[in-house]
Amino acid sequence: MTPRDRSSSFGHEDDDDGGRGAVDLDFVDDPDATEHDRALDAQLSRLVTDRLLAVELPPTRVDLEAAKRRVDAARPRARRRRAWVFTGAAAAAAAAVVVVVVVVVSGVGGGPALVSPLGPQVQGTASPSPVPRESGPVPLRDGVPDLPADEVARLEALHAPGPLPMPSPPGPFGAITQPEDCGRIEMDLEVHPAELDGLDASGMSQVCAVTENVGGALGTNGVLTQLETVYRFYLPPGVDLDAIDSMSATDAGVSWTEVLVNEPTDPIAPDDRPTAEIGGTTTVRWGAWDPALASVRRTGPSSTEISWVEPYARSTSDGYSALAVRATVAAAPVRAVRAALGFTNQGGKQVLHSDDGTLLLVPSSPPQDVMQALNGGVLTRTEEGCLGLHDDAGGFQLVLWPYGSTWDSATQTLSVPATEGSGRQGKTFRLGEDVLIGGGEAGSMAPLGLLPAACATEKTWIAGIS
C-alpha cells in the first residue's frame, strides 16, 4: 500500500478535529509486494474504512485465516506490513463499536451514565480485576437460626438481573474511601459501623472506612467531620481495598456494610417482585421487639443487596437516631440474609440446647457493657429445661446468662465466665446451688419466641459478672 505521509486516517482528510474524530493507522511500504498484493490491500482498506465508519463488523466472507497465512508467509521476506490489514480488522471494528456504544449509553441531556453491555467502563481509573476466591458459601456463626419457610421460598424465587447496563463504579474502594479505626468512627462521628451479625468473620480481616462530604475527612482538630457513608468491609485473606470495586468485590468473596449518614430513613415498604429486571426483590422481617422490614435484592448468582433502617445506628445527646443501612453479601439471597440478619430477630439472643434437654439462654455476641447490680437465688431448671434462679419471695426468674456460659450435662453444672478485663475468675455452679451474680433486669423474653412460653417471666435477669 502506498503510504500517505507514512500514515492514514479513517475519516475526512480535511476534518480539523484535533485527532478526536479520526482513527490514525500507520503503514510501512513493502517494496516486494506484487501488483496483486497491492490490489488486495486496496480492496481490504476500503472495506475496513467503510465498515468502521458504519460501525459494523467486517462480513464473514473475509477469510481472515487465509489472510493470516499470507502474512506469515510474507514475514521471511521482511515484509513489515501492519497486521491490522488482516487479523486486526475485526478488532479495530470492535474497538470502534465499544467507543460508540459507550458514547450512546453515557446519557444525553444529563441522563445517568451507564455501562456498555460489553463490560464496565470506569471513568478516570482502571477497574480492578476480580481476585480469585475459593469456592464455597460465606461462613455463618454457630447457631444462626434458619429463616421462616415463607421467607426462604420468596428468597429462593428471586432472579438474578439480566445483562442490563449498570452504573459505573467510581473506582477501587481504596481510592474512594479512607480507612479509619472502627472505634474512632464510633467515638468521633457517634455512628456505629454496621455489622453482619450472622457472618463468621474469624478468618477475615475487618476494615472500617469513611467517604467524605466536602474537604478533608479530618477536621482541623484531628476529629472526623460529617461524612456521607461509613463502611465496614469483611476481607478474605489476600484481598485489600485497592484490588476491588463495587462491581468486582463479591467475586473476590468480599462482603460489606454501608451506613448512609445523609440518606432518608423511611421505613422499608413491603415489596415482592421476584423477576424484576434489576434483580428480583422481596422483603423479610427485621427486628425483634418492633418488627420492621428489610429489602432484599438479588444482584448476581452469588451476590445479594440488603437494605434496612437501623434504629440505634447513631448516638445523640437525646439518645439514638435511625440511619439507613445497606449491606452487600457475597452469597445467594437465603444465606446472605442469614449472614446479615444473624440473631437480630432474636434480639441478639440464642438458646444453647444440651443433650439432657437443658435450655441455656445466652447473648449471641459479647456485650458492649454490663449492668452490675446483684441478684441471687438457687440455680433451677424448669420442667421445660430452662435455667434460671429461684427464691422464696419472687419465685422463678429466667436468666440471660453471660456470653460464653456453658452447661455440662454430665456434672449438671453451669460454668459462667468472668467479664473480660474484670480481673475476676469465672465460676461454676451446680444445679440446686445458691448463686450470686451481677447484672440487671430487663423485660420479658416472651416476644422473641425462643423458649417455651412457660419459661418466660415478667422480668428477665441479664447476668453480667460472676
Tell me if 30 sits within 8 A of 80, measured CB to CB: yes
CA distance 302 to 283: 18
State whether residue 389 is helix, strand or coil: strand
pLDDT for 150:
96
Which residues contact residue 335 at a Cβ distance below 8 angstroms, ignoring those fewer than 6 apart?
137, 138, 140, 329
Q: Quick one: 74 exposed, middle or buried, by C-beta within 10 A (0-12, 13-18, 19+)?
A: middle
What are the C-alpha distances in Å from 259 to residues 245, 280, 439?
17, 23, 31
* Sign of the four-CA dihedral 322, 298, 129, 84: negative
pLDDT for 89:
35
pLDDT for 116:
27
Structure confidence by residue, pLDDT tens digits, 200-241: 999 999 999 998 643 334 443 445 545 689 999 999 999 999
Q: Which three cell numbers stand for residue 12?
A: 475526512
Q: Left, alpha or beta for 342 (phi > 0: left; psi -120 to 50: alpha)?
A: left
β-pairing, 303-316 with 227-235? unpaired
Q: Which residues pair with 230 in a beta bridge?
A: 210, 259
Mean pLDDT of 278-298: 92
Structure confidence by residue, pLDDT tens digits, 8-44: 333 334 444 444 444 444 445 566 667 666 666 666 6
Tell me the pLDDT band of 189, cut-offs 50, 70 and 90.
confident
Q: How many whole angstroms from its chain centre is CA 407?
A: 37
Q: Which three cell numbers stand for residue 211?
A: 467517604
Structure confidence by residue, pLDDT tens digits, 291-329: 799 999 999 999 999 999 988 888 777 778 889 999 999
CA distance 74 to 71: 5
Q: What is 294-305 written as a DSSP string?
A: EEEEEEETTEEE
pLDDT for 295:
97
Structure confidence by residue, pLDDT tens digits, 395-436: 999 999 999 999 999 999 999 987 666 667 788 999 999 998
State whether residue 283 is helix, strand or coil: strand
Using only C-alpha atoms, what is the Rg of the chain?
A: 32
What is the average pLDDT score of the chain? Answer: 75
Mean pLDDT of 111-132: 36
Q: Which of the listed ranges 104-113, 258-267, 336-345 does the model predict with the highest average pLDDT?
A: 336-345
Q: What is 161-180 written as a DSSP string?
A: P-S---PPP-S-HHHH-EE-
Q: State yes or no: pLDDT of 101 exceeds 60.
A: no
Residue with cell 450512546: 104
Q: State yes or no: pLDDT of 341 exceeds 80.
A: yes
